[in-house]
Amino acid sequence: MKKSLLAIALLSAIYGVAAPATALAKEVNLLNVSYDPTRELYQDFNKAFAAFWKTKTGDDVVVKTSHGGSGKQARAIIDGLDADVATLALAYDVDQLQEKGKLIPKDWQKRLAHNSSPYTSTIVFLVRKGNPKNIKDWGDLVKQNVSVITPNPKTSGGARWNYLAAWAYAQKQNGNDEAKTKEFISKLFKNVPVLDTGARGSTTTFVERGIGDVLLAWENEAFLAQKELGVGKFEIVVPSLSILAEPPVTVVDKFAKKHGTEAVAKAYLEYLYTEEGQEIAAKNYYRPTLASVAKKYEAQFPKVNFVKIDEDFGGWQAAQKKHFSDGGTFDQIYSKQ
């Protein structure tokens, strides 16, 4: 007994003197539940943040990520997926964390700059090399011989952006005649042979399976496909009008509190706004919000005539209710097909 106590005391003394820093270091685990096309972004970002956090605190942070259709991911968190942070495709899905799960406060969007959207994106067309169907704008998507690839707006945040961009175009073309706009959207979805559940699935359908003439894609996803997945096989077409997508981020307070990770989760999201974080976003083809980085990568992103969710659709709550809720315009249009 005495020998054991002595050994413990000796080990404690040696350890205490020789390794004071490591003795205090701890490993922190974070789960980031995100939408489909952010795999590459957060792969890079997580490494950078881990290095930053290690330098700052001495702690090791291990960030795990989960990806899927934005709506599905929100439901998974509400159903108990213990996310410390949520980085979803659109604000409506994050709102659900508050409304249905009471996991975050009502004013979550005010906690970080730019309505908690550290980067933006938009919707563009990805076509096959040479643009054989000569697709230049939304109007070309409803032609009879054009096959369009987009995911299901019921499950995918990206698909909802696609849908609204198409809607905005049709409204403008038809002088806000909603009947004609519905007819346009109906024709468009008649040209959609496969509805994937998420944006990455649609990219697989178009790029790897060789289906369709045009992919309605997140801008970052289109760049990725063009430059990394199928070099020289695809071209990006920027339509005459598109929508400014603002993917939001939030700490999932209830779970972070439960895990004791509130501080590191907050720091993780704040790091997205730093110059380093914005550089990583830009390199992964997301449009940075920090002016200096945006200026640096200005040439990378084409100029787009944007409509905005708040200004043109009355915000996500109104857009969701009108278009994507059960019995909404999408259901009306798609159920007839």
Partner 1 sequence: MQFKLSKYAAVLIASGIISLPITASANDSAELEELRGLVQALSQQVKVLARKGEINEETADAAKKTTPIVKASSGGFSLSSPDGKNEIKFRGLIQADYRAYSSGANDVRNRSNQRAGDLDANGFHDATDTALLRRVRPTIEGKVGGKYGFRFTPEFAGGSASAVDAYVEANFSPAFKVRAGKQKSIVGLERLQGGGDIKFIERSYVTNAILPNRDLGVTVSGDLLSNKLNYGVGIVNGVNDGGNISTGNEYNGEREYTARLFTTPFNDSTSALAGLGFGIGGTYTKFTGERNLNFTDTSAADATRNGLPSYVTDGQQTFFRYAGGAVADGKRFRITPQANYYFGPLGVIAEYARVSQDVSLTTGGSLAAGGGGTNTAFVAGSNKKLKHDAWQVAASYLITGEDASFKGVKPKNNFDLDKGGWGAWELVARYSEINLDNDTFKNPAGTDFTGAYADLSTSAKSAKSWIAGVNWYLSENAKVALNYTHTSFDGGAGVGITPVNLAGTNITDRENENALLARFQVAF
Give the interface with partner 1 as residue ranges (CB under 8 A).
79, 147, 193-197, 201, 205, 209-212
Residues with Cβ within 8 Å of residue 190, at least 6 apart in sequence: 337
Name which of 197 and 242 has its Cβ closer to partner 1: 197
The answer to whether 35 and 69 have CB atoms below 8 angstroms apart is: yes
Name which of 194 and 294 has its Cβ closer to partner 1: 194
CA–CA dist 246, 254 (Å, integer): 24
Total H helices, total E strands in the chain: 17, 11
Distances (CA, A) of 297 to 202, 279, 280: 27, 9, 11
Distances (CA, A) of 201 to 3, 85, 324: 63, 23, 20
User: Helix (H, G, I), strand (E, B), or coil: what is residue 149?
Assistant: strand
Instruction: State the minimum distance, in angstroms, from the CB of residue 195 to partner 1.
Output: 8
Name which of 82 and 177 has its Cβ closer to partner 1: 82
Q: How far is CA 132 from the centre of its chain?
A: 30
Q: Which residue's entry shows tokens 């640096």?
A: 296
Q: How far is CA 291 from the centre of its chain?
A: 21
Instruction: State the minimum distance, in angstroms, from the CB of residue 79 to partner 1.
Output: 8
Instruction: State the minimum distance, in angstroms, from the CB of residue 45 to partner 1.
Output: 26
CA–CA dist 89, 97 (Å, integer): 13
Instruction: State the minimum distance, in angstroms, from the CB of residue 194 to partner 1.
Output: 5
Name which of 77 and 243 has its Cβ closer to partner 1: 77
Name which of 94 and 207 has its Cβ closer to partner 1: 207
Instruction: State the minimum distance, in angstroms, from the CB of residue 15 to partner 1.
Output: 29
- Is 292 buried (19+), middle (13-18) or exposed (0-12) by CB count in 10 A? exposed
Name which of 212 and 247 has its Cβ closer to partner 1: 212
Instruction: State the minimum distance, in angstroms, from the CB of residue 218 to partner 1.
Output: 19
How far apart, in Å, do the first and last CA atoms of the chain sit? Answer: 80
Eight-class DSSP state of 2: H
Name which of 115 and 204 has its Cβ closer to partner 1: 204
Instruction: State the minimum distance, in angstroms, from the CB of residue 68 to partner 1.
Output: 9
